[in-house]
Structures are given as C-alpha cells and as structure tokens.
Amino acid sequence: MAADTFLEQIETELRTITRQQRGKFRRTYAGSCVVAGGGSNAVEIQIDGDGDFLSEHLSGICAGPCDSNGRPQAAPVSAFGGATATRGLQVSITDRGSGRNLTNGFIDCALLFTPGYGTGATNQGQIMGPLVPWRYLFERTALVRFEFRSLETNPAVFQYAAVALHGSVYAVRPQR
C-alpha cells in the first residue's frame, strides 16, 4: 500500500510540473535607438498581455559614433577623448506600469551593457553583449522605458544603443 502512495505522489508531482511548464515560456524583448550628442532618446518595450514577464537577464550595446540612422561613422573629436564617443552615454530604466524607477537616476551604460567604445565599425555584427543578471517581475501589458542621455557636447555625434530583456512569460503569476 505504501508503494501506491509513493507512486501517487510522483504522479501528482509530475502533473504539477507539466501544468507549470504549459504556463511558462521563454521570451526576449528588444529595442534600439540613436542618441544625438547633448540629447536624449528612449526605447519603450511593451510587455505582451499573454502573461506576466519575469526578466532574468539584461543585455545591450552602446556603439558610436554613428549617423542619425545608426550606421557606423568615422570618429569625430569627442569631449571624452578622441574616438571614444560613447563614453558619455547614460541610461535610466523605469517600469511605467508601476511607476517605479529601476535605476537610481541616470547611470553610465558601461555598468550594464557591453560598451562600444571606439568607432561604430568595431561593433558591427555585435548585436548584444553578455547577459547581466537582472531579475524583475513586470506585470502583463507593462511599459518598460529605457531613457538614454548623451553627455557628448558635439550635437553632430550620434550614438547607437540597443537593449534586450531576457526571461520567462508566466500565464499564472509566479511567486516573488
């Protein structure tokens, strides 16, 4: 009789795992923008309505200089020394659904993303850098805003920024 109870427990556990796996799947949300010297621009990512999104990793790249369409350009003189036009790029991350600011104001992009220091040509084919652990639960239909700000003083120097959130979508809200 004890063997039946043990087998029933295993079956129950397997049914629970299978049910959870049906309600969870991997997803990546991505976006990009171009930021002019001395200006700002934002990437807004809309979380789909099919489930809550648990972000597990963040990745991104900052590359510059580029033209206003994000194509690599020769490096003009930068306020940050020679060809290193992307050193002045900062980001602020906000969960617009809850109103929470997820960074302490603007932070240097090099803290989170693979820096694209040098000319934009050195970053071609390098879409996203390594994954940075970044765990946050976004409710379905949340709007995530990555606001980029350039400290570059030359308005003719554009910088390219791309960001991606990697994680899982849950049809049933996961435990925090």
Which domains are delineated in the chain?
Answer: 25-170 (2.60.120.380)
Q: How far apart are CA 87 and CA 102, in angstroms?
A: 22
Span 117-134, pLDDT tens digits: 444 334 444 456 678 888
Please spell the DSSP secondary structure of 90-124, one letter per residue.
Answer: EEEEEETTTTEESSSSSEEGGGTSEEE-S-GGGGT
Q: Which residues contact 97 (CB under 8 A, 6 or more apart)?
A: 47, 138, 139, 141, 142, 143
User: How much is the average pLDDT of 45-57?
Assistant: 90
Query: What pLDDT shows up at residue 81?
Result: 44
Which region among 22-26, 62-66, 171-175 has the lowest average model confidence (pLDDT)? 171-175
Residue 167, classed as helix, strand or coil, is strand
Q: Please say if the pLDDT value at position 76 is more than 90.
A: no
Q: Please say if the pLDDT value at position 65 is more than 70.
A: yes
Q: ∠ CA(61), CA(66), CA(71), 5° rounding?
A: 90
What burial class does residue 7 get, using C-beta atoms within 10 Å of its C-beta: 0-12 exposed, 13-18 middle, 19+ buried?
exposed
Going by C-alpha positions, the residue among 78, 80, 79, 73 that lies closest to residue 34 is 73
pLDDT band, residue 92 (cuts 50/70/90): very high
